[in-house]
Amino acid sequence: MSERSASIEWPTLALIGACYLVWALGVTWLAALWLPWAVIVTALAITLHSSLQHEVLHGHPFRRRWLNEALVFLPLGLIYPYGRFRDLHLAHHHDEFLTDPYDDPETNYQDPAVWARMSRPMRALRRVNNTLAGRMIIGPALGAITFFATDLRAMAAGDRAIRRDWLLHLAGLIVLAQLVQGAMMPGWAYVLSAYLGMSVLKIRTFLEHRAHELARGRTVIVEGGRILPFLFLNNNLHVVHHCKPQVAWYRLPALFRASRDEYLRRNEGYLYRSYGEVFRRYFLTPKDPVPHPLWPKPKPRDQ
């Protein structure tokens, strides 16, 4: 199976169109019908849109980058500039740095030396954030504040690329604000929808990677389920995605089924049967310590 079998990946293109349609129904017709239902539907559309942005940054559904990015230009989730998400996520795909407190931009692990200097309230907040409930409730806010602070420091230091990404993001927010203002959903309800959408995404990212001496043993498989795997575009099969990042979302399940034992051997058996198991085990219980348990020991690189 080739990683790119067609110049246009029609399932992805159709799903982008369907996502925008559901989003539009959420902020208009459903908002007029019953606002709580509209908030839920809009939040799920925002979750799916973020997953589609992830597809786009990996080169789907077209082979032209500018055309792909035009499809997901609108910042439905409000918080993260697409360009920043793209660049940070592609840096995250250097598997030898996964969970590195400095070189993996998506990790929640902290350098133990940094952890030792943290205030007690911040330590408590981060411990709560290491439960699934905490990650879903305070995780979007904590992540956004940390992200904003880092980018503000970078822009103050003269990083023009980050400044450009934020200016493009602001332009997209202006367009989005005009669309929402002309719809039937109140602004506060849309902000709530965006927060809930990010909260659902935190379920996926909660345990995608663990501290492990081997780089190949750090990436998870969450095997079962239908609704969440669809919203996450099969990134529950995360080790498959990391092994073949250019493969479209709808091909990942077949790749996993064809080589299930090999993928589980590769990731040292890092497996959950479903997101239900994840909720049962970690909703109120931290999965990991906040300070990286293997840091600063040298980590062997995979061959």
pLDDT in tens, 72-121: 999 999 999 999 999 999 999 998 999 999 999 999 999 999 999 999 99
Sequence-distant (6+) residues with CB within 8 A of 124 are none
HSE (side-chain half, CA atoms, 13 Å) at 84: 26
- What pLDDT shows up at residue 303? 43
Q: How many percent of the chain have pLDDT more than 90?
A: 93
- What pLDDT shows up at residue 6? 65
The pTM for the full model equals 0.93
* Model confidence pLDDT, tens digit, residues 146-162: 999 999 999 999 999 99
Which value, in Å, is the radius of gyration of the alpha carbons in the chain? 19
Distance separating alpha carbons of residues 7 and 62, to the nearest angstrom: 6
- What pLDDT shows up at residue 7? 84
List the domain boundaries for the chain. Answer: 10-282
- What pLDDT shows up at residue 296? 83
Instruction: Considering only the C-alpha atoms of the chain, give the largest distance between any 2 of them, rounded to a whole number of Å.
Output: 58
- What pLDDT shows up at residue 3? 56
239 has pLDDT over 60: yes
Band of the pLDDT at 1, cuts 50, 70, 90?
very low
34 has pLDDT over 90: yes
* Model confidence pLDDT, tens digit, residues 171-181: 999 999 999 99
Mean pLDDT of all residues in 247-272:
96
Q: What are phi and psi of 292, to 5 degrees?
A: -60, 120
Mean pLDDT of all residues in 245-269:
96
299 has pLDDT over 90: no
Distance separating alpha carbons of residues 63 and 12, to the nearest angstrom: 13
